[in-house]
A and B are shown apart, each in its own frame.
Chain A
Amino acid sequence: MTVLATPDKTGSGFPLGFDAILDPSPLQYLDEHGALSGALRDDAPELDPKELLATWRAMVIGRRFDVQATTMVRQGRLAVYPSSYGQEACEIGAILALRPTDWFFPTYRDCVSMVTRGIDTVETLTLLRGDWHCGYDPQRWRTAPQCTPLATQAPHAAGLALAAKLAGDDTVALAFCGDGGTSEGDFHEALNFAAVYQAPVIFFVQNNQYAISVPLAKQTRAAALAHKAVGYGMAGVRVDGNDVIAVRRAVAEAAERARRGEGPTLIEAVTYRMQAHTNADDASRYREESEVDYWKVRDPLARLETYLKAAGLLTDDVVAEANQVAEELANDMRARLGEEPEVDHRDMFAHVYAEPTPQLLEQAAALQAEIDAAQLDAAQLDAAELDAEGEAAR
């Protein structure tokens, strides 16, 4: 096990496992060829075929979602889409390891996780389409609004986890964060708070090697981001972020630790951003195609597929079913995202406060009058045109 540091049960409160910390090699179950890897081969009987197939199915659907969203941004149906193509092991493995009652704090890049949670695709993309800031009910899905300012969701997760602990619930919170986000002050404050309070929270860093154009080497001098756990006195784990089995297990174990009252875990998942940062980005300015090629052969979906096929688990029926569901999801996205979104200008004023201030009521009324007047003008213009046409016909 490569849990780098776990709380000491002897009572000193200092984390154990310093030897392991010096080893930055990630926890892995499946190597890049889809074979059970190294020392973990003995663990194989524990792998539950049903769970593996469900994970694979979610990855097929998640990837189809991502590809479709990327297409829709090219067609101008979405304002922007930060792709997580190639990061499905993180996006899906982490979410599937949580209970539906656990809270999840996603960033702008984590739409695939949200879809895996069950959130409707259009509700997931409401933010990126520009209709509203958050399209789903966070309470229902126990999913915070996607966060854009980097790492600022991390203290929210720590606070929510602390609240759950104080309330006596066994809820766990998981916050996603990018490698760039680990440089932000809020990331560090969140880890420190969580460790001090032993809050049941998991900080899951998707180290996809780049923060827009800036490579990890310019983000940190640490040998591994998981090492940062040591300074805060919490468990730290480094996993192969393209190995969905490893990710799912690492998160499940961190969640169990948290539920046992053993506090937070920092997980660093080593992965790669296959696409550009967003459609607005030109990745060729800062990385070589050969680097992308290196990661192509480490594809998380292909890797699991190879294993499942070799193990005889992936029958034609299973493949056909998953592909059909994925296609239906894509068709549905195409149809519904193709519609002109209906936005209500009154929403701008409705949710600023529980009760709008007198100032907001005035502004809302003024805008309404403006819109009504414009509509009246347009109607009169139409009527005048009709009259003119009638005149001409006569």
Chain B
Amino acid sequence: MTATLDGAAQSTEISLAQAVNRALRDAMTADEKVVVFGEDVGVLGGVFRVTDGLTRDFGEQRCFDTPLAEAGIMGTAIGMAMYGFRPVVEMQFDAFSYPAFEQIASHLAKMRNRTRGALPLPVVVRVPYGGGIGGVEHHSDSSEGYFVATPGLHVVTPATVSDAYTLLRAAIESDDPVIFMEPKRLYWSKDRLDTVGPAIGQAAVRRQGTDATLIAYGPTVQTALEAAEAGAAEGYDLEVVDLRSIVPFDDATVTASVRKTGRAVVIHEAAGFGGTGAEIAARVSERCFHWLEAPVRRVTGFDIPYPPPKLERHHLPSVDRILDAVASLQWEDR
């Protein structure tokens, strides 16, 4: 991937939402088959302004508003991809992707497989997800588990400004469908942008440590880092792994980290029961059993529909809860 930013832009900080916008722009400039569509993505620039200015700068044929119909958006994207386009569609909010789920599960995920590779679908589905922004009902779901449980999809989720850019560029360049989960509470977080990044399927060690591994992705990476800082004060030297890509899963990085530390806590916002964390905990147990000093713990949202804004602080994984989990990891010497 070529870096497309000039030096000046690289030295200034931009938000994660702007990084996504930049990735869309650069992809649209690089390949005229890239089209962006969804609800309100045109003139308004999306409800989170992620697609700001794309219609103005690329025209209505490249970035356009659709009728209010998620199955229609998804199904139309599939048809366009069958004809050689590379659609990047937006589901306005996590829970509003559910009407499109039939199209995603039955067609998007399976077309390559059922046609033995003759019809790849290079579609990117951008899903703003997760809570912590005071949204009302249906605006804060962590829906990644549904996609993760659907073979044929890649599922990625950035936690940093640079990853938002590089992962989205990689997603658009991928010949497979990618569910691009955007942690909406990080939309406004700012950082300097590095436009060169790793491929889909590679986790990052965000913080080195020797006592336990915190495994997080998307919105919980920041919480995990804060917990690691707070844990240092309590005498724990915590490593933080940011998955970035849930499918494919980077077993190598996770396994190496847990074998080094001997302890692991998995953190995500979605409900724990049947959630992505269960899969991760199982994989870690299978691969690191003889290195583990304690069972793998999970810190997740409760097994409830996402609560109203006034209660969400109780639901979301917190620094305290993470540290409690760390403390429970059978430390004989403490």
Contact = CB atoms under 8 A, between A and B. Distances in A.
A357 B154 CA distance: 10
Given A145-B111, A186-B102, A161 B79 contact: yes
B115 A149 contact: no
Contact of B71 (A166, A167, A186): A186
B176 interface: yes
A357 B153 CA distance: 11
Contact of A354 (B85, B107, B112): B112
Contacts of B79: 155-163, 173
A134 interface: yes
Given A134-B116, A167-B83, A192-B69, A156 B110 contact: no
Interface stretch (B135-143, B246-254, B263-271): B246-254
Interface in A319-358: 347, 350-354, 357-358
Q: How large is the interface on A (under 10, 10 to 19, 20 to 34, 35 or more residues)?
A: 35 or more
A134 B250 CA distance: 32
B55 to A, nearest CB: 15
Q: How large is the interface on B (under 10, 10 to 19, 20 to 34, 35 or more residues)?
A: 35 or more
Given A163-B80, A186-B103, A155 B113 contact: no
B84 A358 contact: no
A215 interface: no
Interface in B90-123: 99, 102-103, 106-107, 110-120
Nearest to A155: B75
A145 B106 CA distance: 12
Given A159-B77, A359-B249, A192 B116 contact: no
A164 B69 CA distance: 21
A190 to B, nearest CB: 6
Given A144-B82, A162-B80, A163-B79, A196 B118 contact: no
Most A CB contacts (10 A, CB to CB) among B84, B115, B117 go to B115
Given A159-B80, A163-B83, A354-B120, A190 B72 contact: yes
Contacts of B84: 163, 167
A251 interface: no
Contacts of A359: 248-249, 251
B67 interface: yes
A152 B75 contact: yes
B251 A138 contact: no
A351 B80 contact: no
Contacts of A358: 201, 248-249, 251-252
Nearest to A147: B107
Given A134-B114, A357-B249, A189 B201 contact: no
B175 to A, nearest CB: 5
Contact of B117 (A149, A166, A351): A351
A350 B114 CA distance: 11
Interface string B33-71: 001000000000000000000000000010000110101
A14 interface: no
The DSSP consensus for interface residues of chain A is helix
B74 interface: yes
Nearest to B62: A166
B106 A152 contact: yes
A75 interface: no
Contacts of B107: 149, 152, 156
Nearest to B177: A353
Interface string B211-233: 00000000000000000000000
B71 A139 contact: no
Nearest to A195: B67
A45 B77 CA distance: 44
Nearest to B251: A358
Nearest to B77: A159
Contacts of B78: 155-156, 159
Given A145-B111, A190-B75, 19 more contacts: A138-B82, A139-B118, A149-B102, A154-B75, A155-B79, A159-B79, A159-B82, A163-B83, A163-B84, A171-B83, A189-B69, A189-B72, A192-B69, A193-B67, A196-B66, A351-B117, A352-B151, A357-B249, A359-B248
Listed from nearest, the 8 A-B pairs whose CB atoms lie closest are: A155-B75, A159-B79, A189-B72, A133-B114, A159-B76, A357-B248, A163-B83, A160-B79
Interface of B: 35, 61, 66-67, 69, 71-72, 74-85, 99, 102-103, 106-107, 110-120, 151-152, 154, 174-176, 201, 247-249, 251-252
19 contacts: A134-B116, A139-B118, A144-B82, A152-B107, A156-B79, A156-B107, A158-B75, A158-B79, A159-B80, A159-B82, A162-B79, A171-B83, A185-B71, A186-B72, A186-B75, A189-B69, A193-B66, A353-B176, A354-B176
